[in-house]
Structure 1
């Protein structure tokens, strides 16, 4: 769904690769664990330490890969579109393999993974179906795909993914609104079945890291997690 009818801020908007290449230098100071990592920690259907090999799709600066390794995943391979983000992931050293490329056409071996993740990327995809098809291709029977996304509710409030080029100079990155039903349709078409869903509300923990969001959007859902499984 086109984001423009919901846009209330009208920031200059960058294409995805260009935006993340520019944002990479300050990304770690902007995106915080309450938005995404907390959802990984809250999932009940995923025994992270039981997985031998994960594909970290849109691995970014390596935050997700580092968490997966701390959680006990034995091997993590990452792919990202943006060289500047990959440079930071390499410096972090959590991944066993890193590649630059399209998360919908990774070139990784079919059926080689028992876990795939995609974190804070789905809003940048015009079509979800290629992502779900690629995750399904990568996974062995019984494998799980964990997707953490920026909540469509927040996008529909008019808040696109954005960062500050400089103080007082915000820019947005191209975004699309995907309803939960869009995810279900794309995942079912690929062959997945839903195991768990969680939504992350702006609560009092956010007051210290995002005081403006806490004051204005308390109790609103800011992000979500979906756990999909391939039937064994």
Structure 2
């Protein structure tokens, strides 16, 4: 099977305008042409991890996309979830799932439009990856979190190494009470193409 051209384009993105253009085109078919075909595991893995270590709400889903992570959280009993994404077209698909209290456009590389410490939990799947958001956004993630809140973020493993996530975590150490990471397979056994065996980290951090 050939590589998904949309996935290849996503891994090669540069800057927010490229993201907006790609996801405007991909939004309607994302769940079927990518998530289902590749057996995309990140939304379930993040939701399972978050409910295990915290489960507190309200929760903010960063890079909510079409709402796959929000749907998993609802299935596991986590209510009061908001979602933000850079793509209005992806958010329109997320709205159809009926799992979010609030959806709003936002660029995680900039400051989001709400007060510091607004959320009891932060989750994200598929946003911290090639061509998307790097470790520089962790400071904004921490700003969003109330004291003692947990964040669970999926991070593409190669992206983690290439951009130096651990260096940034060390720099933010005064704000982080603890953090650790667990590895997982981004895609299921039925996935095909050059990215089928890609790995990810589940970054878990608690705000001091």
Question: Could you say which TM-score interval applies, normalised by the shorter chain?
Answer: 0.7 to 0.9
- Whole-Å separation in 2 of the counterparts to 1:86 and 1:41: 19
**What is the aligned counterpart of 1:200 among 184, 188, 198?**
184
Do the aligned residues in 2 keep the contact of 1:58 with 1:119 (CA within 8 Å)? yes
CA deviation after TM superposition for structure 1 residue 118, in Å: 1.7
- CA separation of 1:142 and 1:48: change in aligned 2, threshold 3 A: closer
3-state secondary structure, aligned to 2:189: helix
The aligned residue for residue 202 of structure 2 is 225
Q: CA deviation at 1:202?
A: 7.3
TM-score normalised to structure 2 length:
0.77
Unaligned runs of at least 5 residues, structure 2: 1-7
TM-score, normalization: structure 1?
0.70
Give the Cα separation in 1 of the matches to 2:81 and 2:50: 21
Structure 1 residues 201 and 60: CA distance shift in structure 2, 3 A: closer
Aligned residues: 189
Could you say which residue in structure 1 is the equivalent of 2:165?
183
Which structure has the larger Rg?
1
- Give the secondary structure class of the aligned counterpart of 1:121: strand
Q: Partners in 2 of 1:95 and 1:45 — Cα distance?
A: 17
How far off its partner does 1:184 sit? 1.9
Is 1:128 the counterpart of 2:112? The answer is no
Instruction: Describe the shift of the 1:88–1:128 C-alpha distance in structure 2 as closer, same or farther (beyond 3 A).
Output: same
Which whole-Å CA distance do the structure 2 matches of 1:229 and 1:92 have between them? 29
Change beyond 3 A, Cα 1:36–1:66: same
Are 1:149 and 2:132 an aligned pair?
no
Taking the aligned partners of 1:116 and 1:75, their CA distance within structure 2 comes to 12
1:13-52 residue pairs with structure 2 within 5 A? 15-29=18-32, 30-32=34-36, 34-40=40-46, 43=49, 46-49=52-55, 51-52=56-57
Which has the larger share of helix?
2
Paired residues of 1:35 and 1:222 also in contact (CA < 8 A): no
Partner deviation per Cα, 1:72-123 (whole Å, 9 max, x = no partner): 2231111110011010011111110111121242112211211111211112
